Structure formats: C-alpha cells, structure tokens
C-alpha cells in the first residue's frame, strides 16, 4: 500500500487505530448518513441492485475462497517470479469463469531474487554473540559470499546520516526509529526506501533498517529500497524490532560489530503482465470506472492482506456487477497491476498505454490496505464530490462504511493517473493491524477475517456500481503539483518510497 | 514452566486470561485482604521490613538490569551449551556481588544441539510449493542429510494416532490441535511431549506438531519431546500455527507431501550445575525456605520470560533479604536449577543430594511463568495454610496480589520434592501472553515490562520473607499419589510432559 495513506494527523490516525466505526458517530455529524432518515426517503438507486450486490458478497464467501486459491494455490508472487506469472494465468482463468472479458497487457519488470540471508552480532568481551533476525530489502545488493563484517553506526534520520559525513565509511549504517502505530509508516518508510542509497553515497558498506512494524515476534519486514539507476548499491536488510532494540542497547555500552550474509541477486528484467477485465457500460461505455488492486506480492508470506485481499475484492465486485440483469451506465474496468511492490512498472505501463483514454476515466480506486472491515468511503475529486456520492451511501450503513473519510482516496498504482486528473474514490478499511503483517512471512490467509473481507467486498461492489451508475460523474480534481508516481529527487519526495 | 500450572477449569482460566487483578474483587470475597481494615490493625509483621523489601524492588530496577545482563550478555542457555555454562558463572558472580553465599552442585545434562532446519510442502498439480516455518523439538532425531520426504497424515490426538494403526508407516504424522488460550497448553502439550514417541512406535518416519501458541507471526515454538531411553527416535519439529492451518486446508483437498531437513544431533552428556545460594536464618537456620527458578532456557530467543525473569526475581529477593538489618527467622535458600527445559535433571539432582534435608524444607517456590505482573499468592500445603499466610498479605495489596489463587502452587523443578511433602507457595503472575513467546526466538528482553517485573519481584521478596519469618510453618501436604516429577508411563501421565 502507498505511504500516503498513512500520512495523516495524529487525531485521525487515532480514529483509524481505535477501530471505532465512524458510522457510529452522532447522527448530527455532517459526514455521516442518517439511517432513519434515508431509509424512508425514496433512494436515488435501485434497492434491488443493492441487494444483488451486497447480499451475495456477504453470504457466498466467494471472495474469501478466491483469496484462498490465490494464497494457498499460488503463494508468493514477487514480480518477475514464477509465482507472479502463475497469478496472471490464475486471474485470467478467474475472470473467464466469472464471464468477465479479460486480457493481459505487457509490463517489463525487474527480477530481484532473495538468497541465503543471516546475520549475527559478534561477541565482545562482555557479551556473547547474538543471531539477528533479518531479511534483505528488495533491490539490495548481495554481500560477498563470506559475508560483510563491520562496525555498526546507529542513526535515526537521513539528516543525522548526512551530518556524520565520512565517519560511516566502511561501516554498517543502522537506521533506527520509533514506529508504533500505522500512522508512523509514512514518517519512517523513507529510511527503508532512501536510507540505503544515502548510505552508499556516504561510503557505508551495508545497511540495517529497523522493520516498519506495529507488532513483532522477531519478525523482519521487507520492502523495496531504491538506489540510483546504474549507481552503486550495497547490502541492505531489515532487522526485527527486537533486534533493533538489542543493537540499540548494545551500542549504548560500546562498539558493536555485525556480520551479515545476503545472497540476493538482480537478474535481467522479464516480461510480465497487468491483467485487465471489463464489464461494458450500457449507456456510456466510453466512460470508465476503474477498480484495481495489485497482483504481485513480496516473496515471503503469501500476500494475503497485501494485496491478495484487494484482488479478491475487485474481482468479486466485477463478477457481481457482471451478473446484474442490467449493466451499469458506465464501463467498469478491473486492473490487477503487476509490480506495485518493487517498481510500480505496471502502473506506469497502464497509464502510458491508456494515456489517450485517461480523460474518459471518470473514477478510479485501488484497494491496497488489507482485507479488513470497511470503515469509510474516500474521495479525491473536484468540488461537490461528497454531495454527489452521499445519496448512494445508505446501503453501506450496516457495513459500517456509510460516511466519508477525512483522508483523500489514492493508491500507489493510481498515482501515474493523477496528472490526467482522474478522480479517485476508495473504500477505506480498518488497517490498524496491517503493519503487524505487512511485507512479512506472516502475511498469510489465516490473518484475513472472512467476515471483514466479505464486508469490504460488499462495499467495493456497491461503490463501484454507484460510480458507474450515478447520473453525473465526479468533478476532476486539480492536477498534483508533482505527479506522485513520477521519480523525484529523494530529498523532496518522501511519499513515493514505501509501497 | 510446568504444564500443571495451566491445567485448570475454563472459568479460572478466564479469570487469569482477562488480566483482571483479583485484588480488585469486592472486599467481601473471602480470599481477598481488605486494605481498609488491615491497614488499621496492628500487623503481625514489621512494616519497616516490608518497606525495605518492596521499596527497593519497585524503585531500583535491579531485577530488570540483571535480566538484561543475562539475556543480552549471555543470551540463550540450553543445558549443556556454552551459554548455560556462562550463565552458571554469571549467577555465581551475581550472588557474590550481592554478598550472598553461593555454591554450585553438579548435574549431568543431555546435550542436544540444533542444526540446519527447513521444510516445504511439495507442489502438486493444483498448488505450488510452500516453505514451512518449523523448528526441531528438543530431543528430535536428525533427518538424513538430503532430508525426509513423505506424505502427511493429520491427527488431533494420541488416540486417533493409535486408531490409525499401520497406516501411518513411513509417513509424517502431523499433530494438529486447537490451542487458543493458555489453559489449552496442558490439554495439548502431550502431543509434543509424547506424540513423537507414539508415532515412532507406529512406524512413522517423522512428526510435525502444531506449535503450542496463543499468537503467531509464522513463529514456531520448540520444546522437549521424549523418546524411550535407547529406543528408536524420529525427526520431530513444530510448525507455526499458520503452517498447521495451511497443512490442514491442503489436506482437505488431497494428499500432501512434505520435505523436512533437520540437522540436529544428540551429543554425549556433559557436566553442568545447579547454582545454590543462602541467607542463613537467625533463629531456625536449619529450617529452609527454598525459592527457585531455572537458569537454562531454550536455544532460540534469550529466555527472557522463560525463565530469566524468574531468575532475576529470586536473585533480587535474596539480595534484598540479605541486606535487611536482621535476617529472617529461617534460612532462605535460592536454587537456580539447570535443565528444567530438557530433562529436569537439575531438579532430580537437587532432590537426591538434599534428600536428608527435605523434611527441613518448610516451604518451596519456583517462579517460572514469565516476568508478568503478580496477581495472587498460591499455596500447596496441609490444612490452615491460607489462615497462616493471610495476615502477611497486606503489603501485596498495592501490588495487586493480596489474595489467594484458586490454583495450587507448584513448579516442574519442585516436583521431585513432592514425595517428601514439602509445602509449596508461589506468586502467581498474569501469564495471559506467556504462550505468545514461550519457547520461541521472540522470548526476548523487550517482551518483559520493567514495571511488571519489579512488582513481581517485590511480591516474591515479601512472600519469601513472610515464609521465613512467620512464627509457625505451613502444614505439610499429603504426598502425591504419583510423584509428579518421576518418569511415568506415557499413557497415564500427561502432566509431566510440557516444560
């Protein structure tokens, strides 16, 4: 999921973390829909359609079964891997079985492959050696086969690293931080995304980053790190929060040396694919409501929350919409992006290939914050968006999502469409436990609650239909000052680092 | 910690798991001390002594600092390892620094050593391969170097295994279960302790056991398994709960084959030591109040909760008691047992070497349920125990422990003293999160709350003093029908399996 989702004021973060359903606010809240009042008014939508979308999503368990197929049947699917290729075929079979027309579009993706990885804190006169629980970051260079052994220097920011100047030459830079709640992800993801590149410029020999985690049982969290194209790289790994705290304690007592062995490698780019599917609109087929998720995952765990759940939601939304007696007014297009996690190449390929069509993309969403319960609807559009959407919210009351989020809709894979001023919408989920599992071997099917997934799927199906059916469309937002998906100098663009 | 601590009715388990401080019960509860009433009565004890024990325990942070020394400085200390030997030396230095007379007593211990370990679910036509998160059980045989590949048979009880007869020949028996709360540990620990021995008799080639866990991030939990002395063994490992659920789901769809590689080995026994220390009693030095913990740990993690915390508590209790202006009436003896986790040899060696003295052991406790906050005082004694102890409870009111547990006091290392009818006492702690970490690499210092440890340490120091100072001693309990610590036929003694 994108960092930007988690850059928000602490007050809002608390609202998210508390898990309190915003729909339970007093009815006087302007952002909430009042069930009693709206239930008696004549709805602007067909109640029968709401039932045909939300009913099956809540009762058939189809999204969860599909998620089980993807995670148990295919497992991890890092872009460029056999798993990713298998996932493309699986998605194509799924759409076919659902009677939804689908095709693939080519995407060149990097192929980074994990190898042996281990590390230890070397013994000193006072302390015995400790194994480190670590995981290479995507894009890391390997160490020499015998490993890298060096002294550790702890820093807590890129600024602090810069201030150290030459003194980190030949050392292992250890980026420590204080992440404790999901809202901290945005604050600290830059240490993972840009820290290694900064360290290699300073002459460091390697990097360890504290995992971006809200829970840990010695669980290291991987993720992408970015070096300059064709520039120097270094071995970079995340350590579990426990190991970060151990390093911090040991460093308080004297010098610490670490040995790390990383056997990862960067293979040549391979051709992969976005998977695209469509339910043609009945009146304005040229207008496109895009719903998306990313098909790739990290190579540890099975990407159940990130982003198998999103894939299951949007595929199921398309299946249910395709089964309606009458297609919605506009075309619903599903995009399962490839390579969100490690380059965003699928998102860029889509925006390029469909550049001429983007003015006709009237709304776009990406579900990429886990398979949790829905808590709100989000928008990023021009003036009047909430007024347009509000009459369509009553079917979300019992799902706990019939209110507007204070956060803008978005998604890493949507960012290349932002310059074309495509309006974004979203179903916000309760991601308070997302960073317990995010980018770890523990992101597995058992972490997804079938009820929560069903409820979010229902909300996605309904909001997709609403966007495709409402008489008018969202006003287009202002173009962003800097396209969020475009490469930008590291110092000025923290939001693009942490997919 | 011993299984028996967690064999209790569900209602009591709930009380424990809820974390509600029993001291907060209505004052009418017969088991609770009433602060208001007792504060005004003349105490049977010296208030000044209570302050000298509880004050420093709560304010100096000495127990936590000592736990940090043990876990960061020495780390894992499986019996027979260098870490265990270093821990013995560390404890001796600690007692010396505290001015508490200490000595070692020899214990022969097994030396089982972990090696390479990995596993995978093999691919089928329908599913790709999945890595397994596994950990060899202590006492496991190794596989052949190329690993063991076999079909998996799932069972949920020893009875079900027995019913399968010859059909498990050559297969990997997978013991699955439904542990979800600490009270389940006693129900299912037998699958780990005795399952592999039962499987080898049935002709199985290997065993996988679902981890005994109340939380997991793909976290496998090790522990001891017992084969018949000089009998056949097999490779036996625990899998993380996630992997157990994956196996269960895959088995619902057809045959599953697993490859596992375990490189563990059983080396010759080595000589190790119990560490014993004493504060001589001023009036009845021949009467011994024994307080204990175990110095060994598993070889993953640093044994912070299991049982570094217990070690820190009892060492600190002895230090504080030794600093009192006047020693208590009876002798306080600290025993840091070796090899609780993988054989109980230290406990047996102590009971044998001190057999003549056991009638003079007037009370004994073992702290071995984690470094959590204290919630109650427990006893295992003859009639009148609570009446004798109750007047000494008021100093525990503010610690949340001034009431009696419904569970009997005990401890795996105390069990060999039970036939000599030594009365047991204990400070019960809130172990609701204990099995999140128990026997895993995640049992590390950061999991111990310094405040909780300080409070339990204060309670231990006070209760130890109380037992050593009160005018009379606990009545001796009935001898157990079967000595809990003695080896017994597997079929009849589930409680002795899960240390």
pLDDT of B40: 58
Question: If we measure between CA atoms, which residue out of A215, A152, A225, A207 comes closest to residue A179?
Answer: A215
User: Out of A216, A249, A442, whose CB is closest to B242?
Assistant: A442
Please return the burial class of A105, using the count of CB atoms within 10 Å of its CB with bins 0-12, 13-18 and 19+: middle
CATH number where A23 lies: 3.40.630.10
Kindly state the tokens that stand for B407. 């569970």
Q: What percent of chain A has pLDDT over 90?
A: 87
Residues A259 and A273 placed together within one structural domain of the fold: no
Per-residue confidence (pLDDT) for residue A92, from 0 to 100: 98
Select from A242, A303, A433 the residue whose CB has the most chain B CBs within 10 Å, as the one to mutate to test that interface: A242
The pLDDT tens digits for B41-93 are 689 999 999 999 999 999 999 999 999 999 999 999 999 999 999 999 999 99
- For residue B74, give both structure tokens: 């020495």
Q: Is A150 in the same domain as A247?
A: yes
CB burial of residue B446 (10 Å; 0-12, 13-18, 19+): middle
3-state secondary structure chain B: CCHHHHCCCHHHHHHHHHCCCHHHCCCCCCCECCHHHHHHCCCCCCHHHHHHHHHHHHHCCHHHHHHHHHHHHHCCCCCCCHHHHHHHHHHHHHHHHHCCEEEEEEEEEEEEECCCEEEEECCCCCCCCEEECEEECECCCCCCCCCEEEEEEEECCHHHHHHHHHHHCCCEEEECCCCCCHHHHHHHHHHHHHHHHHHHHCCCCEEEEECCCCCCCCCCCCCECCCCCCCCCCCEEEECHHHHHHHHHHHCCCCCEEEEEECCEEEEEEEEEEEEEEECCCCEEEEEEEEEEECCCCCCCCCHHHHHHHHHHHHHHHHHHHCCCCCCCEEEEEEEECCCCCCCHHHHHHHHHCHHHHHHEEEEEECCCCCCCEEEEEEECCCCHHHHHHHHCHHHHHHCCCEECCCCCCCHHHHHHHHHCCCEEEEEECCCCHHHHCCCCCCCHHHCCHHHHHHHHHHHHHHHHHHHHCCCCCCCCCCCCCCCCCCCCHHHCHHHCCC
Q: Is A294 helix (H, G, I), strand (E, B) or coil?
A: strand
d(C-alpha B20, C-alpha B11), whole Å: 13
B317 with B458, same domain: the answer is: yes
Binned at pLDDT 50, 70 and 90, residue A479 comes out as: confident
Q: Among residues B117, B278, B340, B469, which one is catalytic?
A: B340
Work out how many CB contacts closer than 8 A connect A with B: 91
Confidence (pLDDT) at B5 = 41
Alpha-carbon gap, residue A57 to B444, rounded angstroms: 43
Q: Do B72 and A245 touch (CB under 8 A)?
A: no
Angle between helix B47-59 and helix B450-469 axes, rounded to 10 deg:
160
- Are A442 and B217 inside 8 Å of each other by CB? yes
Q: How far apart are CA B406 and CA A184, in angstroms?
A: 43
Mutate to test the interface with A, among B122, B128, B129 (most CBs of A within 10 A): B128
**Ordered alpha helix ranges (H), A291-354:** 309-322, 345-353
CB A88 within 8 A of CB A104: yes
Chain A residues at the B interface, defined by Cβ less than 8 Å, are 68, 72-75, 82-83, 86, 126-130, 133, 215-219, 241-242, 245-246, 249-250, 301-302, 436-437, 440-442, 444-446
Q: Residue B479: what pLDDT? A: 83
B318 and B452 assigned to the same domain: yes
Catalytic residue among A117, A154, A278, A340: A340
- Extract the runs of DSSP E, i.e. beta strands, from A382-442: 404-408, 424-429
**Cβ within 8 Å, pair B218-A442:** yes
Contact A217 B437 (CB under 8 A): yes
Residue of A nearest to B448 (CA): A242
Query: Among partner residues A72, A130, A249, which is closest to B75 by beta-carbon distance?
Result: A130
Q: Omega of the bond prior to B426 within 30 degrees of 0, cis?
A: no
User: In the structure encoding, which two tokens stand for residue A334, read together?
Assistant: 């599903």
Peptide bond before residue A142 is cis, with ω within 30 degrees of 0: no
Phi/psi-derived region of residue B411, left when phi > 0, alpha when psi is between -120 and 50, beta in every other case: left
Residue A469 has pLDDT above 80, yes or no: yes
- What chain A residue is nearest to B86 in terms of C-alpha separation? A128
Average pLDDT over residues A223-231: 95
Q: CA B250, B252, B257, B259 torsion: positive or negative? A: positive
Query: Do residues B58 and B146 share a domain?
Result: no
What is chain A's mean pLDDT, rounded? 91
Whole-number Cα distances in Å, A356 to A272, A281, B456: 23, 19, 69
Q: What is the number of domains present in chain A?
A: 2
Distance from CA of B242 to the nearest CA of A (A): 7
Q: What is the CATH number of the domain that holds A248?
A: 3.50.30.30
Residue-by-residue pLDDT tens, chain B, 499 positions: 444 444 333 333 333 333 333 333 333 444 555 554 444 568 999 999 999 999 999 999 999 999 999 999 999 999 999 999 999 999 999 999 999 999 999 999 999 999 999 999 999 999 999 999 999 999 999 999 999 999 999 999 999 999 999 999 999 999 999 999 999 999 999 999 999 999 999 999 999 999 999 999 999 999 999 999 889 999 999 999 999 999 999 999 999 999 999 999 999 999 999 999 999 999 999 999 999 999 999 999 999 999 999 999 999 999 999 999 999 999 999 999 999 999 999 999 999 999 999 999 999 999 999 999 999 999 999 999 999 999 999 999 999 999 999 999 999 999 999 999 999 999 999 999 999 999 999 999 999 999 999 999 999 999 999 999 999 999 999 988 764 444 433 333 333 333 4
Q: How far apart are CA A134 and CA A119, in angstroms?
A: 7
Q: What is the DSSP letter of A71?
A: I
Which chain B residue has the Cα nearest residue A126?
A: B73
Contact A137, A196 (CB under 8 A): yes
CB of A196 closer than 8 Å to CB of A109: no
In the numeric block, the tokens 């008014």 are attached to A41
- Contact status, residue A468 vs residue A425, Cβ threshold 8 Å: no
**pLDDT computed for residue A492 by the predictor:** 30
Alpha-carbon distance A477 to nearest alpha carbon in chain B (angstroms): 41
Using DSSP, state whether A36 is helix, strand or coil.
helix
The per-residue pLDDT for range A268-311, each reduced to its tens digit, is 999 999 999 999 999 999 999 999 999 999 999 999 999 999 99
In a mutagenesis test of the B interface, which of A444, A449, A450 is the best target, namely the one with the most B β-carbons within 10 Å? A444
Q: What is the pLDDT of residues A172-213, one digit of tens each?
A: 999 999 999 999 999 999 999 999 999 999 999 999 999 999
Domain that holds residue A208: 115-263
How far apart, in whole angstroms, are the C-alpha atoms of residue B403 and residue B393? 7
**Which distant-in-sequence residues (6+ apart) come within 8 Å of A273 by Cβ?**
A88, A104, A105, A106, A107, A338
Contact between chains at B446 and A73 (C-beta distance less than 8 A):
no
The domain boundary, picked from A199, A233, A263, lies at A263
ipTM: 0.90
Residue A239's beta-bridge partner residues? A134, A210
Of B208, B228, B263, the residue at which a domain comes to its end is B263
Indicate if B174 and B79 belong to the same structural domain: no
Are residues A292 and A251 both part of a single domain?
Answer: no
Rounded distance between C-alpha atoms, residue A381 and residue B358, angstroms: 80
| Same domain, yes or no: B365 and B421 | yes
Q: A291 with A245, same domain?
A: no
If asked whether residues A365 and A447 sit together in one domain, one would say yes
Shortest Cα distance from A468 to chain B (angstroms)? Answer: 36
Summarised one tens digit per residue, pLDDT across range A6-50 is 433 333 333 333 333 333 333 344 455 555 444 556 899 999 999
Q: Among A87-96, A421-430, B35-44, B94-103, name the one with the lowest average pLDDT.
A: B35-44
Residues A381 and A440 in one domain: yes
Q: Are residues B104 and B128 in the same domain?
A: no
Report the phi/psi class of residue B344: left, alpha or beta, with left for phi > 0 and alpha for psi in -120 to 50: left
Please identify which residue in the block is written with the tokens 């000495």.
B62
pLDDT for res A24: 38
Identify the contact set of chain B against chain A, taking CB-CB distances under 8 A. 68, 72-75, 82-83, 86, 126-130, 133, 215-219, 241-242, 245-246, 249-250, 301-302, 436-437, 440-442, 444-446
Rg (CA), chain B: 23
Q: Please report which residue ranges of A42-183 form alpha helices under DSSP H.
A: 47-59, 62-68, 82-98, 158-164
CA A452 and chain centroid, separation:
18
Catalytic, A357? Answer: no
> A466: helix, coil or strand?
helix
Query: Which neighbouring-strand residues pair with B429?
Result: B374
Assess contact for B341 and B79: CB atoms under 8 A: yes
Percent of chain A residues topping a pLDDT of 70:
88
What's the whole-number mean pLDDT along residues A467-492?
A: 72
Tell which of A245, A263, A281 closes a domain: A263
Record the tokens describing residue A376, joined without a space.
């709100």
């Amino acid at each position: 999921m994108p960092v930007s989702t988690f850059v928000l004021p602490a007050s809002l973060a608390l609202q998210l973390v508390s898990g309190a359903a915003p729909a339970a606010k007093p009815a006087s809240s302007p952002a909430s829909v009042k069930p009693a009042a709206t239930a008696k008014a004549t709805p602007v939508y067909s109640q029968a359609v709401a039932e045909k979308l939300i009913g099956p999503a809540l009762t058939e368990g189809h999204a969860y079964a599909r998620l089980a197929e993807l995670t148990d049947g295919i497992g991890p699917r890092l872009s460029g891997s056999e798993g990713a290729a298998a996932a493309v075929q699986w998605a194509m079979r799924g759409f076919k079985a659902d009677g939804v027309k689908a095709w693939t579009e080519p995407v060149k993706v990097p192929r980074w492959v994990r190898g042996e990885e281990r590390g230890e804190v070397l013994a000193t006169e006072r302390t015995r050696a400790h194994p480190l629980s670590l995981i290479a970051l995507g894009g890391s260079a390997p160490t020499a086969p015998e490993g890298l052994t060096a002294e550790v220097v702890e820093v807590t920011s890129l600024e602090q690293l810069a201030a150290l100047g030459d003194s980190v030459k030949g050392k292992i830079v250890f980026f420590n931080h204080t992440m404790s709640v999901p809202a901290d992800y945005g604050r600290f993801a830059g240490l993972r995304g840009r820290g290694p590149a900064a360290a290699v410029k300073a002459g460091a020999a390697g990097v360890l980053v504290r995992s971006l985690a809200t829970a840990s049982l010695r669980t290291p969290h991987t993720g992408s790190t970015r070096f300059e194209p064709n520039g120097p790289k270094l071995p970079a790994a995340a350590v579990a929060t426990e190991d970060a705290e151990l390093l911090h304690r040991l460093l308080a007592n004297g010098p610490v040396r670490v040995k790390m062995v990383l056997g990862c490698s960067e293979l040549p780019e391979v051709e992969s694919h976005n998977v695209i599917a469509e339910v043609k609109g009945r009146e304005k087929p040229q207008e496109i409501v895009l719903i998306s998720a990313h098909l790739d995952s990290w190579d540890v765990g099975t990407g159940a929350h990130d982003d198998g759940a999103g894939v299951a939601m949007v595929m199921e939304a398309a299946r249910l919409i395709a089964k309606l007696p009458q297609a919605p007014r506009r075309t619903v297009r599903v995009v399962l992006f490839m390579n969100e996690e490690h380059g965003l190449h699928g998102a860029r390929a889509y925006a390029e290939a469909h550049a001429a069509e983007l003015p006709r993309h009237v709304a776009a969403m990406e579900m990429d914050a886990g398979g949790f319960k829905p808590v709100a609807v989000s928008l990023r559009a021009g003036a009047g968006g909430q007024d347009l959407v509000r009459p369509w919210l009553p079917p979300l009351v019992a799902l706990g999502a019939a209110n507007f989020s204070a956060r803008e809709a978005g998604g890493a894979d949507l960012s290349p469409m932002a310059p074309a001023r495509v309006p974004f919408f979203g179903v916000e989920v309760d991601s308070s436990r997302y960073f317990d599992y995010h980018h770890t071997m523990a992101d597995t099917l058992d972490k997804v609650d079938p009820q929560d997934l069903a409820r979010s799927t229902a909300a996605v199906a309904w909001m997709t239909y609403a966007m495709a059916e409402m008489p008018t469309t969202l006003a287009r937002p202002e173009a962003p000052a800097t396209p969020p998906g475009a490469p930008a100098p590291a110092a000025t663009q923290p939001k693009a680092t942490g997919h």
